[in-house]
Structures are given as structure tokens and as C-alpha cells.
Structure 1
Amino acid sequence: MRVLIQRVKQAQVDVGHETIGQINAGLLLLVGVTHEDGAADIQWLVNKIANLRLFNDENGVMNLSILDVGADVLAVSQFTLFGNVKKGNRPSWGEAAPGPISQPLFDEFVRQLSLKLTKPVATGRFGADMQVALINDGPITLLIDSKAP
């Protein structure tokens, strides 16, 4: 699994003219699933995201985690994180798991992250054409991959 993490002042995801999920200060997570992902990937990512020190302490140093500050999280499924552009000019999506595989894993990731944070995680709508708006804070943006060495 890959997750693009953005520290935000606010973020929201719309489908059509309806806001599906929104948060104030916290983390926007764009989540991609590949064919080999499973429970171990979810657990590693949940623990890593919950404990990453991405928020400033009283001295202005990124020394606090989302658990420390109690900020919100918005998670949005994002199969394009596994787009391959090595050959040609049209991305290949072959590395991204199809919906019947990726949706249950995405849903379980959200469920486990909610449990870890002891609060709901806002989401978009899986498989929908979504518009995501955010105010990146910092900007702080990280890409993490559960399969990276």
C-alpha cells in the first residue's frame, strides 16, 4: 500500500455538488492499494501514520504525532498512486489492485486507523469521481509505501 500524507489546515472531498468528507487541521491521506497488499500492510501503515511526528511542539519543532494533537484525518482512495509512466506517455494502472480487492483493504485501513486514533476517519466515496480540496500546511507532504525497503 502507498499513502501520500499531507498535513493540512483543512481538506474536503466532494462528489458532484455534495461534500462527502471534510476535516479541519490534520492529515489528508491519499491511499493506493496494489495486488500483494494485505493485513500486515494495513497494520504497518496504521501504526506508522499514527506515530509520525508531523505536528509542531511548543518550540515549533515537528515533534508531535496525530495521536498527541488529536487532529482529524481524511482518507481518500487513490489508485493512481500505482500508476506506471516508465514507458510511453499514457500511465499504466496494472499495478493498482481492482476495486473488489482494493475496496475491502481500504475500508479495513480506515477502520483500523479510526480504532487507533479513537475517533472517526472521514473518507471520500470509493470509486467515485471525487474533487479533493486542501490547504497544505507547511507544506508537509510525504509518500510512504508499506513495501519499501
Structure 2
Amino acid sequence: MRILAQRVTEASVSVDGRQVAAIGPGIMALVGFGQEDGPDFNTRPAFQGMAHKLLGLRIFPGQGELANKFHTSLEEFGGQLLLVPQFTLYADCRKGRRPSFIDAGNPDWAKPMFDYFVKMVDESCAVSVSSGIFGADMAVRLCNWGPVTIWLDSANLFAS
């Protein structure tokens, strides 16, 4: 599982010209599953570990002397979260100029995995959680804050 988390002042997702999700200050996270995850990934500790890591990232400013520091998490800051499914996080560009997506998770199990991840995150935190639509041709708009962009890869963070 891979997540590209970006601190934003605002972000939104539209499908067919209709806005389906929007947030104010918070995190917009692209979320992808790889073949190595497999259809049982949600039963492994790394699945919840990735949610915990994302929600716990201390990338927001604190108060007073800590106003310009990475001090608080999304929940402590009171921000919002937008989760966007993104199979291209598993692009392999080692050969030629056309990316290969053979390492991306099969949509048959990656879609329910993404939906379950959104539900689990939403039920485990006190922030507003929105999501894009798996498999849709989405227009994603965001305004980076910083910019702050963090790469999370379960294969590196939770290697057994």
C-alpha cells in the first residue's frame, strides 16, 4: 500500500464536472494498493498501521512558539481528510517511456480495499473524511500548503 499525503489549504474532486468531495485545510492523500498487498491486506497489521501513520503525521503548525513548526497531527489541528484512489502510485518507469502498471492491485479487490480503508479511517478519527470515486476519471484540485508532501509505503514502513 502506498500513500502520497499532501498538506493542503483546500482540495476537491470532481467527476463529469460535478464536485463529489471537498475539504478545507487538512490532508489530501492519494491511496494505492499493489499486487504485493493482495486481497487479504486489510487483515494484516500494516493496513491499520498505514491509517495510524497517516492520521498521526505531525505536519501541522502548533501555537505560539510552535506556529512555524511541524507540531500537530491532523486531528489535533482540526483539519479534514480527502482520500483519493490512485493506482498510478505503482507505476514502473524503468523500461521505455510508457509506465507499466502491472504492479498495481487488481481492481476486483483494490476497490473494496479502498472503500474499507475510507470507512475504517472515518470511524477511527474525529476529523471529517471525504473520498474520491474508485475507477472514475477524476479532476483533483488542491492548493498545497508549504508545500508539504509525505510518501508512505507499507513495504518500507512495515516490512516483516
Bin the TM-score by the shorter chain: over 0.9
Measured after TM superposition, the shift of residue 111 of structure 1 is: 1.0
Measured after TM superposition, the shift of residue 61 of structure 1 is: 1.1
Aligned residues: 149
Q: Extract unaligned runs of 5+ from structure 1.
A: none
**Does residue 49 of the first structure (1) align with residue 54 of the second (2)?**
yes
Measured after TM superposition, the shift of residue 120 of structure 1 is: 4.1
Q: Which of 99, 123, 126 is residue 115 of structure 1 equivalent to?
A: 123
Q: Distance in 1 between matches of 2:106 and 2:80?
A: 28
Q: Is the 8 A contact 2:75 2:126 kept in 1?
A: no
- 2:135 match: 127
Aligned residue runs from structure 1 range 13-24, under 5 A:
13-24=13-24
- 2:76 match: 68
Q: TM-score, normalised on structure 2?
A: 0.89
- 1:7 match: 7
Q: Is the 8 A contact 1:55 1:65 kept in 2?
A: yes
Q: Distance in 2 between matches of 1:119 and 1:6?
A: 16
Q: Distance in 2 between matches of 1:115 and 1:78?
A: 22
Task: Report which stretch shifted further, 128-137 or 50-59.
Answer: 50-59
Q: Secondary structure at the match of 1:11?
A: strand
Q: Which amino acid aligns with 2:139?
A: Q
- 1:98 match: 106
Indicate the percent of aligned positions where both proteins have the same amino acid: 37
Q: Secondary structure at the match of 2:71?
A: strand
Q: Extract unaligned runs of 5+ from structure 2.
A: none
Q: Is the 8 A contact 2:79 2:127 kept in 1?
A: no
Q: Secondary structure at the match of 1:57?
A: coil
Task: Report which stretch shifted further, 35-44 or 134-143.
Answer: 35-44
- 2:86 match: 78
Q: Distance in 2 between matches of 1:68 and 1:14?
A: 28
Alignment root-mean-square deviation, CA: 1.1
